[in-house]
Amino acid sequence: MPALNLINVTKLFGSVKAVNKLNLEIEQGECFSFLGPSGCGKTTTLRMIAGFENLDEGELYCDGKLFSSSYKHFYLAPEKRNFGMVFQAFAVWPHMTVYDNVAFPLQIKKLSRSEIQSRTELALKATSLTKEAQLFPGKLSGGQQQRIALARAVAINPKVMLLDEPLSNLDPHLREEMRFEIKELQTKFGFTVIYVTHDQSEAMALSDRMLVMKEGVVQQIDNPLEIYNNPANKFVFSFIGLSDFIPVMVKDRKVFIEGAMENGALQVELPNTLNPALTYDIACRPGEIDFASTGITAFVLRRTYLGDVVDYLLKIGNTEIRVQKTRREAIAKAGETCHIKFNRILWYDHSEETTSKT
Ligand code: ATP
C-alpha cells in the first residue's frame, strides 16, 4: 500500500490553478522530491498533504485511509495526520531550551513523562544535539537551529516527514552536509520523506524519485538518473542542467547543425520514430560531448577552469553550447577550432517551448 496517494488533486487560488489534476503515489519509506521553479505549485501541494489547504478537486489517502476529499467535503485536521514538518524558516521557540523545543509538542500530545523523555533524548541524539540540550537556540548556529526543527519532527515518530526547502537558509557547505544528515535520519527511523526544493542538485542527491512541475502541472515523475538522462521535454531538460538546444536540419534523414552544414554533420541519422518533415532541436548533456580528432567542427569561445571540471563555451554554426570535461580531457584551447562528438543525443520538436529558470 502506498504511503500517500493523491488522485486528481487540484487547487485554485482565484483564477490561478496552483495545482492541476495531480495524480501521484508515494511508496512507504521513499524519499520523494517536488522540484520546479518558483510558483509552480510545490508548496501548495505539500500544504494540501499536510492538511493546511483544502482540495478544490480530488482525494488524498495516507496508508489507504482517506485524509482529504473534495467530493465528500472531508478533511482530517493537520494535527491528526501525525506528519513531521520542517520548513525553511527555523521555526524554533527562542525562549525554550533545545530540549524543551523538542519535548513541547509531545507534552501537547499528552504522552507520558517517560515516553516524552525517551523520545526527546533519542531525537536529540540522532541530530547530534545531546550536548546542547540545555542551551537556548539563540546560542546555536543556523545549522544547529535547523537540527532542532528536525529533532522536533523526528520526536513525534511520524510515518511521513514533510520538508519544505529546509536547507535554503544555510550556507552551501552546511547545506550539503545536512542533506546527508536528513538521509541518515530517514534510514534510521524509516519514515517517508516528501521534500520540496527548487534546487535540482539537492533533489537529485536526496531522492529515490522526484516530480518536476511547471505551472501546477506534472512534467515528469521518475528517479533522478532517468530524469537527468531522459528528460520528458525541453522544460525538464533545461530545469535539470544547462539549457542548450541546437537547431538541426534534416536532408535524406541525415542530420546537420543549422548554419554549419557539412562541418556540422552528425554521425547519426534521424531516428525512425521521428518525422523528417518536422524541424528538430537536439540536446546533449555537457558531459556527453567529447573532443575528437574528426567530427563536427566547433570554435572554442571560452575555456574556464572550475576546479576539477573545465567548462567550455563552443560555437557550432549559429549556436553556442556548453561542454564540461575533466582536466585530463580538456584538450581544446580558447580561440582555436576543435572537433566534437555527441554521445547521447536527445531530440525535441523545435517549436516546443523552452523555459527560463527561476
Ligand atoms: P516557491 O518555490 O516560490 O515557494 P512554489 O512552487 O512552492 O513556489 P506555490 O507557493 O505553491 O509555488 O504557489 C503556486 C501558485 O499559487 C503561485 O502562482 C502562487 O502565487 C499561488 N498561491 C500560492 N498560495 C497562494 C495564496 N494563499 N493565495 C493566492 N495565491 C497563492
Total count of domains within the chain: 2
User: 80 with 201, same domain?
Assistant: yes
- CA of 55 from ligand 1 middle (Å) equals 14
Range 141-166 average pLDDT: 90
User: 95 with 119, same domain?
Assistant: yes
Residue ending a domain, among 192, 208, 237, is: 237
Phi-psi region of 252 (alpha: psi -120 to 50; beta: other; left: phi over 0): left
Contact 202, 196 (CB under 8 A): no
Q: Which tens digit of pLDDT belongs to each residue from 274-317?
A: 988 889 999 999 989 999 998 899 999 999 999 989 999 999 98
User: 295 with 166, same domain?
Assistant: no
User: 83 with 232, same domain?
Assistant: yes
User: 212 with 345, same domain?
Assistant: no
The cell for 234 is 525541453
Considering only CA atoms, which residue is closest to atom 17 of ligand 1? 39
Residue 36 belongs to some domain of the structure: yes
pTM across the whole model: 0.89
User: 124 with 45, same domain?
Assistant: yes
User: 27 with 149, same domain?
Assistant: yes
Does ligand 1 lie within 6 Å of residue 43's CB atom?
Answer: yes
Q: Which tens digit of pLDDT belongs to each residue from 181-217?
A: 889 889 988 999 999 998 898 999 999 999 999 999 9
- CA of 39 from ligand 1 middle (Å) equals 5
The cell for 21 is 489534476
Residue 55 belongs to some domain of the structure: yes
For 68-90, give one letter per residue: b (16+ CB within 10 A) or e.
bbbeeeebeeeeebebbbbbbeb
Q: Is residue 110 exposed (0-12), middle (13-18) or buried (19+ Cβ within 10 Å)?
A: exposed
User: 191 with 213, same domain?
Assistant: yes
Which residues are CB-contacts of 207 (< 8 A; sequence separation ≥ 6)?
Answer: 31, 32, 33, 195, 223, 224
Residue 355 belongs to some domain of the structure: no
Does ligand 1 lie within 6 Å of residue 11's CB atom?
Answer: no
User: 52 with 183, same domain?
Assistant: yes
Query: What CATH number is attached to the domain comprising 280?
Result: 2.40.50.140
Q: State the residue range of the domain holding 252.
A: 242-349
- State the average pLDDT for the chain: 91
pLDDT of residue 171: 81
Residue ending a domain, among 221, 237, 253, is: 237
Query: What CATH number is attached to the domain comprising 139?
Result: 3.40.50.300
pLDDT of residue 356: 44
- What DSSP element (H or E) covers 99? helix 98-108
pLDDT of residue 358: 43
Tell which one of 9, 11, 13, 215 to mutate to probe ligand 1, the residue whose CB is within 8 A of the most ligand atoms. 13
Residue ending a domain, among 237, 268, 290, is: 237
* More reliable by pLDDT, 109 or 69: 69
User: 270 with 214, same domain?
Assistant: no
CA distances, 69 to each of 5, 33, 46 (Å) = 12, 23, 15
